[in-house]
A and B are shown apart, each in its own frame.
Chain A
Amino acid sequence: MATLLQSIVSGVLTGSLYAMIAVGLTIVFGVMRIINMAHGEMVMLGMFGAYWGYTLWKLDPFVSVLLWVPLMFVFGASVHRMLLRKIIPSGELNTLLYTAGLSLLIANVALFFWTGDYRTINLAYALTPARPFGISISLPLAIAFAIAILVTTALYLFLSRTDTGRAIRATAQNPDSAALMGVNVVRIDTITFALGTALAGAAGVLLAPSLYLYPTVGEILVVKCFVIVVLGGLGSVPGAIAGGVLLGLVESLGAVYVSVAYKDTIGFVLFLLVLLFRPAGLFGVGRS
């Protein structure tokens, strides 16, 4: 019983951070119809931001997140303005290959400057986990979970209550009609891409104390992200949140009750089945 509870708790905690990365990927897909292969590298940049903030200036990652999120927003906006904007009209596959190029470029520039060494951030308060009701909860992961919930709620309110949020949703539904209603679609595209990048960066900063970080970590994360957004339905924000938590649970329960070796396989098999039989996602809310 304690094992079950323990794996559910750690599954939900990790899953919430997966969800945050996946929300970034899914809003970009929803608005621009592009699958951003470089999304994982944005997470990696956030992780390294947290690492350098901690190593050079003794900044706690949960404080330096306030610095890195706006920077990642600006970075995302410039990537869209200077690189992606010209490519997107040439088709989905070209954009996919282009972002794959961007992903390899960012990861290898990072490898070049920071080498492939595995690094960790050792926070003093990470050593003793909290133990409510006999289950152990890592403190950095719990704080990250709380911040992830705050950020995701803020994003949800932004998308549903503000004018810019409504414009983003309108563009996701139909770019041409949105443009006819006076929405500046190019500006919305840039904002959305910047927002997606900022979310990925924020998730990276929050994950940094709990994971090993190395320049090619994005490769694994982006693949997990694809699994999540397909599970939840491509383009759907609530779907991505549910999918993220679901994948976190599948991984932690799979590791305990199936096998540690095959826990990642379960996610991929689920992914293939959903892609083939429920292309709109488990909840039927995405676009196929």
Chain B
Amino acid sequence: MNRVLAAIGVAFLLVVPFVTRNPFYQHLLIMVLFWTLLGIAWNLLGGFAGQVSFGHAAFLGVGAYTTMLLYLKLGWSPWLGLILGGVVGALVALPIGFICFRLRGPYFSLATLAVAEIIRLVALNWETLTAGPTGLLITQLPALNWFGRPVNWESKLPFYYIAVALALFAMGTTWFVSRSRLGAYLLAIREDMDSAEAAGIDTTRTKVAALAISAFIAGLAGGFYGLYFRYIDPDAVFSISMSVEMVFIAVVGGIATTAGPIVGAVFLVTISEFFRERFQVGHLIFYGVLMMIVIRYMPDGIWGRLRRWLLGATTQS
């Protein structure tokens, strides 16, 4: 069942750009995939291990700045920079993890919020490196050939396929983690940290490992953000609202599931982008409403509910 759904999903993603040439819909698809990526990143730690981070924008921002700076200052290929963005995100996550994981539950959440704010303020004020509030701008992306044909960076299509590749990689990672020993450890930590510790799991190391993988994906998403918009500044990539929105994507979609973040992103991003087109402001109203409905009535999220319904339907037939 899951394989059939996955195959349908991948086929749909590859075919969809041939259906529409409307730049708004193409942008919408890219945004859905970008937020899926962030939702997946957050879900690895927040969903599987139950460690609610309100500071994931830190990794997104570090990734974005790494990619942009390597290209602008050293002239490194942005595609290498994209991956290095993930690597630097994961490296930054290690000390943050060892500090913040001394705390539990809501205290951990508050600590991550503070760490992300400190990093935002440093990025805002370290002007020789980050250009401060002015931000970084890429005027031109390097020429690239794909099967002998030059890639047109003015079109949205190449970014769409990059986003698809990144999202599939991230979903594959989630799937892999959820079936591995690490995944089992994380679930044990979520259910009861003390019992997990008593059973011989090194909880801090396990959580830091999950955070590093999560930060790697968030860093990749950050690099992609920089290249797609060609402009970043600290208040865009390090903002509290970035951190908070990715929590909403994962929780509304379905905590601790492989497909949850994509379902959450499809729902929330589509609604909010249409709302933004129509009314300009207040597009996060539905994030708030759906979060409240999900927590109250369907704790395993939209995808969790949908999956139970689908599975129920197949067993009956």
Interface residues, chain A, with chain B CB atoms under 8 Å away: 35, 83, 86-87, 90, 92-94, 96-98, 100-109, 111-113, 115-116, 219, 223, 226-227, 230, 261-262, 264-265, 268-269, 271-272, 275-276, 279
Contacts and interface: CB of A to CB of B under 8 A. Distances in A.
B9 interface: no
B37 to A, nearest CB: 20
B240 A219 contact: yes
B121 A265 contact: yes
B282 A108 contact: yes
B292 A101 contact: yes
Q: 3 smallest A-B Cβ distances: which pairs? A: A105-B288, A112-B282, A101-B291
Contacts of A115: 281
Contact of A109 (B50, B102, B125, B285): B285
Contacts of B103: 275-276, 279
A110 B127 CA distance: 34
A35 B52 CA distance: 13
B247 interface: yes
Contact of B281 (A83, A90, A111): A111
25 contacts: A35-B109, A90-B295, A93-B105, A93-B106, A94-B295, A94-B299, A97-B247, A98-B296, A100-B247, A100-B291, A101-B288, A101-B295, A102-B288, A103-B288, A105-B288, A105-B292, A109-B285, A223-B117, A223-B240, A268-B117, A269-B118, A272-B99, A272-B114, A275-B114, A279-B107
A98 B291 contact: yes
Contacts of A226: 110, 113-114
B251 interface: yes
Interface string B252-290: 000000000000000000000000000101111101111
Contacts of A276: 99, 102-103, 111
B184 interface: no
Contacts of A223: 113-114, 117, 240
